[in-house]
Amino acid sequence: MEVWLKKEDFMAVNKIYKRPKIKLCGLSSVSDVEVANALKPEFIGFVLWQKSKRNVTKDKAAELKKLLDPQIKAVGVFVDEDAKVVADLLNNGIIDIAQLHGSEDNSYIAKLRKLTDKPVIKAFQVKSSDDIADIEKSDADYVLIDSGQGTGKAFDWKILEGIKRDFFLAGGLDPDNVAEAVRAVAPYAVDVSSGIETDGKKDRIKMERFVGNARN
């Protein structure tokens, strides 16, 4: 006897077993980009915030972008940056997507959209299920959910059970827990930075393990 899944059940199963996209963030050197080109994540990130230890300048980002496989999208990470500065980097092809990690709201996103047609990711810090409402209301093309502003600490993924839109999952991910995270919340994408580093530098072995475990 054949057994047919209801449409809603099929969609749920498909979401669970769909491979997440991968973002390797905080790349800052030629060797970082070379490893990324070999692993082919869907996204990489350049941090364009001076207070970050992973900060790269506009010129450095442009240099690294030229070396990046064109199939990989470069995300620029900003914190309360002037919208004109962000749009300039997008419109000149130095980055493909802007990731907003500060207090930027829908009015800021609207201002940015008048300056560029490139995609926007808005990052949210999630402390409890009460924060989900703000995520659902965001006008950004994508949302990223983290435990804090680049803290590298994980949070209780059960908080995300009620979210309806696709999201990037960040915060405390590493090669050892990324498969568990994918099974637990089925994110659109997984985002990692400190979890693929050793002594503050990107670690090729950890990068390879993270990508392999996220995909498999």
For residue 7, is it within any domain?
no
Is residue 145 in a domain? Answer: yes
**Residue 143 in domain:** yes
* 93-107, 114-128, 141-155: least confidently modelled range: 141-155
Question: Which DSSP string corresponds to 44-108?
Answer: EEEE--TTSTTB--HHHHHHHHHHS-TTSEEEEEESS--HHHHHHHHHTTS-SEEEE-SS--HHH
Q: Range of 75's domain?
A: 19-215
Task: Give the number of domains in the chain.
Answer: 1
Q: Is 132 a domain residue?
A: yes
pTM: 0.88
Average pLDDT, the chain: 89
Query: CATH number for the domain including 106?
Result: 3.20.20.70
- Residue 2 located in a structural domain: no
